[in-house]
Amino acid sequence: MNDYLILRELDDPITRDDLDAAAEKSGETLEALRSEGVDIRWVDSEVMTNDAGEVTGTFCHYQAESEDAVREHADRAGLPATRIDRQGEPLAGED
């Protein structure tokens, strides 16, 4: 499997409840894809917010057999996939 980073930009901000609902749909979609033999796994996500605390997007890390698998997940789950890239070597932060 390859590691993919997905930028999910939202046209309009959403609430944390909306984000939780999207995460639930995402999980259901992942299970369905795996039951169909698609090798895909969610690793983690970082949430982006505005000053009001509304969710404006996410950066998600997935492991998958292909970029097509990541796109299929996004399409079926109704999630934006503004950009999908393979993960490169990480940079170290400050000590």
Over residues 2-33, the pLDDT tens digits come to: 999 999 999 999 999 999 999 999 999 999 99
pLDDT of residue 95: 81
> What residues have CB less than 8 Å from 87, skipping those under 6 apart?
2, 3, 4, 5, 61
What is the spatial distance between Cα 63 and Cα 92, in angstroms, rounded to a whole number? Answer: 21
pTM for the model stands at 0.89
